[in-house]
Amino acid sequence: MSPSTSVSALTIAGSDSGGGAGIQADLKTFAAHQVHGLSAIAALTAQNTRGVTAVHVPPLDFLRAQIDACFDDFNIHAVKLGMLANADVIHLVADALERYRPAQIVLDPVMVATSGAKLLEDSALQAMRERLLPLATLLTPNTPEAELLLDRRIGNAADARSAARALLDMGARAVLLKGGHLLEGERVIDRYFDGTNDREFDHPRLPVDAHGTGCTLASAIAAQLCRGRTMPAACEAAIDYIARGLHGGYQPGRSEVMVLDHIGAAFRA
């Protein structure tokens, strides 16, 4: 696979000082797909495999400067959105995306860390619904995030299918509802819906406590879109990438939390 040098992918998200999620995972994923990765850091976290201990949101002018610098010099085909901690940040990012109009916007609506730490202020939820969902080419919530966006419970497969359609009605052009938090036997089922295509992707549920899978999935989809795949094909390839990364995952910290093996997964990215 030759590098894709004509287009870049930009992640606008939070930094994970532990290296397993956020901006760090996004850039590893872009590199694994041989897509040039750019970053605009919307939040700084003091974080390790045990949890998040502090969050700092940089000045808005500095975030705007990062985004402008990237669009000023690079051919950005896809933007991946991750942790955007408050309403002011969301409005700034939405304004920038409306100005620059990248071809693909993959929105991972990060609200709560795997550790349980809250990463989104209450006032930001409505801003995300009103400003970012209508801009998203693809929305990639997990079950708890979809429940917050829709203000309703998702308890089974029928609820999940209904939720994917409801999220589409909120403005996103396509939805990939991740199934890791929904217990459906020994398989994890991710549900894709764009109004025309209705697909389910499933993998065996692995007995691991993994960190950074949501960030990595969204950035892998963005990278696959940069390489010319259709949205359903990009989702399928990115889900396979996560599965490979989990199979080769390792525990870099003193907890039992596992991070993905991007190098091992890259050989077939």
pTM: 0.93
- Name, in order, each residue with C-beta under 8 angstroms of 237's C-beta and a sequence gap of 6 or more: 220, 224, 229, 269
pLDDT value of residue 175: 97
For residue 76, give the 3-state DSSP assignment.
Answer: strand
Backbone angles phi, psi at 114, to 5 degrees: -55, -35
What distance in Å separates the CA atoms of residue 3 and residue 112, rounded to the nearest whole number?
34
Between 230 and 247, the higher pLDDT residue? 230
For residue 209, give the 3-state DSSP assignment.
Answer: coil
For the stretch 236-249, what's the b/e string if a residue is b when 16 or more beta carbons lie within 10 angstroms of its beta carbon? bbbbbbbbbbbeeb
Kindly state the average pLDDT of the residues 114-128.
72
pLDDT value of residue 268: 64
pLDDT value of residue 1: 44
Kindly state the average pLDDT of the residues 86-100.
97
Q: Please, how many CA atoms are within 13 Å of residue 51, restricted to the half-sphere of its CB?
A: 6
What distance in Å separates the CA atoms of residue 253 and residue 251, rounded to the nearest whole number?
6
pLDDT in tens, 250-266: 999 999 899 999 999 98
pLDDT value of residue 205: 79
- Asked if residues 204 and 187 have their Cβ atoms less than 8 Å apart, the reply is yes
What distance in Å separates the CA atoms of residue 236 and residue 69, rounded to the nearest whole number?
32
Mean per-residue pLDDT over the chain, rounded: 90
Q: Could you give the residue ranges of the DSSP H alpha helices within 5-45?
A: 22-32
Say how many C-beta atoms besides its own lie within 10 A of residue 154's C-beta: 23
- Asked if residues 125 and 162 have their Cβ atoms less than 8 Å apart, the reply is no
As a 3-state breakdown, the chain gives helix, strand, coil percent values, each rounded to 5, of 40, 25, 35
Whether the pLDDT of residue 107 is over 60: the answer is yes
pLDDT value of residue 206: 72
Amino acid at the residue 208: V
pLDDT value of residue 119: 60
Residue among 10, 80, 17, 66 nearest 44 (CA): 17
